[in-house]
Structure 1
Amino acid sequence: MTRETDRKQAAENMALTLVGVGMQRMGARVMSAFLFTEKESLTAGDLAEELGVSAGSVSAAIKLVAQMGVIERVYVEGSRREHFRMLDNAWTTLYSRQHSVVDAVLRAVDTGVEAVGPGRAHDRLEYMRDFYTFLINEAQEMVERFERQRAESRGSGSQRRGGPRP
């Protein structure tokens, strides 16, 4: 196999994995194309060519991946096409955006805690509220710790998978 064939197989495997955890198929393939490209930016045409599909079929997927916060639209001098690139901090951005979902769940849980009296339902709802509150409070510190650890490992030339252990 060639290096290009290996790259394409790994990209398709990543897409299948993303589909397996609930992502829409074309969105997963587009995300994977951004992960595995060496290009600075991609257009819908680039993605269509890479994935072997029509340019129209990738437009909704681009929108989905952009809404997730992992890619952004960029200006490319001399081009009339829309270009997109993956954000350097895509994963911490994606992780942070999931807080809005947790916030909505917490609002519903708070309403539930207030609506029920003492008993099993109250205990379950209170436990759920306490758990998600804890996660939100820890998340920002965890992202900051990750960024520090990553910067330190890059500064020391460490190439170990996963970076240094605390």
Structure 2
Amino acid sequence: MADLAHAAERMALTLSQNGLQKATARVLSALLFAEDDSVTAPELAERLTLSSGSVSGALKALLTVGLIERVPAPGSRREHYRLREGAWAVLMSTQNTVVQAMFEAADEGIAAAGRDTLAARRLAEMRDFYSFMFRELPTLVDRWQAERTRRAQG
């Protein structure tokens, strides 16, 4: 059990070192390592020794990007949460809006800087990269889902 707790904390540290807020990283990690199908916000707060506000903010952030979902829990008056099935593919699919926004920002920057400037060349590389990612992400997600289905079928 100590190894599991250590692995969960290591995961949270890795997530926070790579951009997630610390509380959000800890909540995501707790959901990844949870032995129960779903958990409540108060359970997370107690397990992680976090304030209810921190847990609430983390859950909201994770719900927004599609990594977790609320689930019904018959007989319980509290909301229950779990890691969404296919969460990572959902996350990458939602990244299309981020990728599109970055593409558009780079394109606007090129127009503002003037086409024959150093800034425009830098921004063109950014725009072209995000254009490529926007085109390729759906295909990668589809390939992942097909591979996942093949693995599940054994």
TM, length-normalised to structure 2? 0.91
Q: Give the structure with the higher percent helix.
A: 2
1 or 2 for the larger relative contact order (CA 8 Å, sep ≥6)?
Answer: 2
RMSD: 1.5
The one-letter amino acid paired with 1:77 is P
Structure-2 separation of matches of 1:85 and 1:113: 43
Correspondences of 1:88-103 after superposition (within 5 Å):
88-103=85-100
Partner in structure 2 of residue 136 of structure 1: 134
Structure-2 separation of matches of 1:56 and 1:112: 38
**Contiguous gaps of at least 5 residues in structure 1:** 157-166
After TM superposition, what 4+ stretches of structure 1 lie above 6 angstroms from structure 2?
A: none
Offset, 1:124: 2.1
Correspondences of 1:64-83 after superposition (within 5 Å):
64-83=61-80
Structure-1 separation of matches of 2:23 and 2:14: 13
Partner in structure 1 of residue 60 of structure 2: 63
**Contact 2:42–2:52 (CA under 8 A) maintained in structure 1:** yes
Structure-1 separation of matches of 2:4 and 2:100: 38
TM, length-normalised to structure 1? 0.85
Offset, 1:56: 4.0
Partner in structure 2 of residue 48 of structure 1: 45
**Contiguous gaps of at least 5 residues in structure 2:** none
Equivalent residue pairs, number: 153
Partner in structure 2 of residue 8 of structure 1: 5
The one-letter amino acid paired with 1:125 is L
